[in-house]
Structure 1
Amino acid sequence: MTESLFQRGSAYQHHRPDYPATLFQWLAAQCNQHTLALDMGCGTGQACRHLEPLFEQVLGADISLKQIQAAPASFTHYVCGSSSALPLPEASVNLITVAQAFHWFDSPSFFAEAQRCLRPGGLLALISYGLCEVEGLGDLIRDYHDGPLEPWWPPERSALMANYPDATLPWQQVPYPGDALECHWGLADMLGYLDTWSALVKARQAGEDPLATFTPVLADAWGNQPRTVRWPLRVKAWRRP
């Protein structure tokens, strides 16, 4: 059965790992003002909700209306719009974040818009996390990611996994001290997360279901106990002159 975009938005909301609060505290500390933060490619508003206690106003923007509609009610204002044409006046934003979405953008257009919208001294941060490792399972998840799913990943995936090596700006780069996403999950949690991977959408549209084949393999290795799942957290941040 084909999933609707709303269903996938709901799955993202419930099964994706959450970012550590320390990430957003660090981002806010790099800003000289805290009037307005924008999360571009916001999806269901995961990053937006972390920014709400730290800024007077938070705006989430995404090209997918269905993703925005799946966001829980909060103080964030949501708009449906493109990263190439942000619905904001010049020099109005203190912080722009892009969490796990930059590989879908037209980077030259987005960088031009970020420069237009950011206030002098404002921060642009590209946030991503790499492939997870599960305590006690060795390379099992990586073998699944790079094996049965490899033909179904979109080409943009490689830039995400490599932490956007071609993303550069002639601005001061602000080094992130480093952190990780960490969850303590049971098997059902992990399967719910794997089911959000975009490669499965393409595979199922073609009549294949690599997750159905992988599930008994994972279940046998996982056992009945919860396990620690960790993702490396990467941030590329620049301060606008």
Structure 2
Amino acid sequence: MAELFVKQAAVYAEARPKYPTEWFSMLSALTPHHKLAWDAGTGNGQAAVSLAEHYEQVIATDVSAAQLQHAFPHPKVRYVHTPLSASDADILSALGGENSVDIITVAVAVHWFDLPRFYALARRALRKPGGIIAVWSYNYEIAPFEAALERFMHSALPYWDDRGKSVINAYEELPFPFESVGMGSEGKPLRLDMSFDGLIALLRSGSPVVTAKEKGVDLVSEEVVRELQAEWGDTSVVRKVTFKAFMLVGTPKLED
């Protein structure tokens, strides 16, 4: 998975939408303790720095060293490179051991993980009782440009890794072996300000675009850009766009 995001690490850091601050306020309200957060698959650290507003320390891990080079610095966030060769013991040690983490977040990344291994590690790391895990993502159902982006998605499908396709289905079939805590935002809109250049950068940062380019296919061609531009109108105007976001939140089951 890491290799899919190495080449566009800088673009990814600039292009990906920011997550609403209220998400982190609501999540932190669910944990009785606020000592340690783990942001797994942190990428550029967007979620990590938001968690730092609510927790004393954030450990932010990623398998991609290139992504971490573009992460946002923060005095309460410690970035840790965890290559695929890292053992569970190494990762738990970086987190302070078992039963030490108040909240685990995975922003737009859990579908790339070795889920059985990650979930087993998450259960060991989470404080019991009281620890929670939240995973979320969004897809390219971006209003008011659904028609043009649907055509883009259709052209991108042959280059989309099967793991990434769970995002298209809004995590409906994603395994999530945790007890619901009554919070989630499945299918709820994520409304943001975005420039036209930002929209194009977002599309270009996607893994299927990189895969297609390696095969000589430009999914964000000049023709696609012109088509989107025609729907956008004045490209100097920043517009409100709406993503379809979805979140799953749970706590380890009693038998875990």
TM-score by shorter chain over 0.5: yes
Find 1:219's aligned residue among 229, 233, 237.
229
Is 1:176 aligned with 2:183?
Answer: yes
Q: Alpha carbon RMSD of aligned pairs, Å?
A: 2.1
Distance 1:203 1:6, change over 3 A: closer
Distance 1:4 1:199, change over 3 A: closer
1:125-164 alignment runs, 5 A limit: 125-135=134-144, 137-146=145-154, 148-164=155-171
Tell me, yes or no, if the aligned pair for 2:4 and 2:207 is still in contact at 8 Å: no
What's 1:236 paired with? 248
Task: Report deviation, 1:131.
Answer: 2.2
* Per-residue Cα deviation, 1:150-202 (whole angstroms, up to 9, x for no partner): 21111112212223323131x42123253532222232121111111111101
1:38-187 alignment runs, 5 A limit: 38-75=38-75, 76-81=77-82, 82=84, 85=88, 86=91, 87-88=94-95, 89-120=97-128, 121-135=130-144, 137-146=145-154, 148-164=155-171, 165-169=173-177, 171-176=178-183, 178=185, 179-187=188-196
Unaligned runs of 5+ in 2: none
What's 2:13 paired with? 13
Letter in 2 for 1:231: F
Task: Report deviation, 1:78.
Answer: 0.6
Distance 1:138 1:117, change over 3 A: closer
State the identity as a percent: 30
Tell me, yes or no, if the aligned pair for 2:35 and 2:57 is still in contact at 8 Å: yes
Inter-partner Cα distance in structure 2 for 1:46 and 1:239: 23
TM-score, normalised by the number of residues in structure 2: 0.85
Task: Report deviation, 1:229.
Answer: 1.3
Letter in 2 for 1:161: I
TM-score, normalised by the number of residues in structure 1: 0.90
Number of corresponding residues: 236
Distance 1:217 1:114, change over 3 A: same
